[in-house]
Amino acid sequence: MGSRAEPSAQHASRTSERARAEFPHAQAAKRWNSVLPMPPSDLDPRRILPIADRLHADPGYAGRGVTIAFLDSGFYAHPDLTTPRNRVLAYHDLFAPEAGPSALERGDASSWHGMMTSVVAAGNGALSDGRFRGLAWEANLVLVKVGFAHRIVHDDIRRGIEWVIAHHEQHGIRVLNISCGGDYEESYLTGSLSRAADDATRHGIVVVAAAGNAGHDPGHRVLPPASAPSVIAVGGLDDGGAGEQTWNYHSSYGLTLDGLQKPELIAPAIWLAAPILPGTPTAAQAQLLSLLDRARDEELPRLLVEHACVDPDLDAIAGREPYLVRQLAAAKLRDQKVISGHYKHVDGTSFAAPIVSSVVAQMLEANPRLSPQQCRRILMKTARGLPGIAPERQGFGVVQPRAAVAAARAAA
């Protein structure tokens, strides 16, 4: 989770204490999560484009009729997934199997990460008038909780994959997104997590996993399940939020214990619009900052009075000159990565992987007969290699949704 860099990479977080209390990143998915550091001072969050525009995706495909399963620390029934119709077909909690879908209506610290990964892939942008919708914005979802905000355990990811395999026919699961990773390296010949991931592929499920965010550390390789042979491991790309420039992102990469080069693909992993958990103090603060940003000078005093106790810093300057209020609000918009009252920008390969999963859903909408092996080959064949980025860091290159869908349609 996060933005331009992360504590395990280049910069420390500038997230407020209140946001950190709600959104703990320390161990949530370990190297797969990033926090929300300070973006460049010249970045206007409103310049961040939807992922469809940045990747020039075909707007005629939205993952219709395809079910994507997500493994993560927790989830929330976000409006981008549940309105105007609820597309969540099933929810399973490994630690409370009796919990029903109503559990998705109670957001907590563990809900953040899975809420964001699922919405990045399949949200319909209900709270942004359709602007920030995923490429698979009409796909169905199955949500599987395999951990908590502070910890996701190696064997629990395996258990989650096994549950998906056992229920894939019941829910029509064709794609499995895993934005978390195991505790240690293992050979796919003997490791239970890698073998479970390969078994999912044998059952007709396209498995996509985040490569991790430790590319600054050459000693850290891609861990399972992303290291399994049949899994599409996804690294990251920095496209500046507008698809205009490209830089390397600090994704994990390298040879696995079995000598496989990972990742296979890269996708945008920074300046990505993701939802803020509704009903939290962070959401209230983002909504206030957005109101202040749009308001006229003469409206500022009234808005600060009406929203007292939302932000102590803003409370402290209520009644001061408008330019001071605007300066503080602008700084907080940057610090909190706020795009609007409902979204902020995040980064990490945790969010690059769902983009690839959503492309796979588009491909399967175009051609439901595709096998996981065909999907993999098409994605690699149509990817665009980037000059200036080492091949071992980008695999076959940046995922190309439009070309992948066209190739899927043409495949026998």
pLDDT band for 270, please (50, 70, 90 cuts): very high
Q: 142-165: per-residue pLDDT in tens?
A: 999 999 998 999 999 999 999 999
Across the range 387-405, mean pLDDT stands at 95
What was the pLDDT predicted at 199? 98
- Give catalytic residue positions: 72, 113, 350
Cα dist from 368 to 164, 190, 364, 409, whole Å: 19, 32, 5, 9
Phi, psi of 32 (to 5 degrees): -85, -10
Q: Domain limits of the chain?
A: 17-272+346-410, 281-335
Helix axes 322-335, 281-294, angle to 10 degrees: 130
Q: What average pLDDT does the chain have?
A: 88
What was the pLDDT predicted at 44? 60
With a CB cutoff of 8 Å and minimum separation 6, the contacts of 400 are: 55, 382, 383, 384
Q: 293-351: per-residue pLDDT in tens?
A: 999 999 999 999 999 999 999 999 999 999 999 999 999 999 999 999 999 999 999 99
For residue 386, count other CB atoms closer than 10 A to its CB: 17
For residue 198, count other CB atoms closer than 10 A to its CB: 18
pLDDT band for 215, please (50, 70, 90 cuts): confident
The fold of 17-272+346-410 is Rossmann fold (3.40.50)
Q: 28-37: per-residue pLDDT in tens?
A: 333 333 333 3
CA 333 to chain centre: 21
Residues recorded for the chain = 412
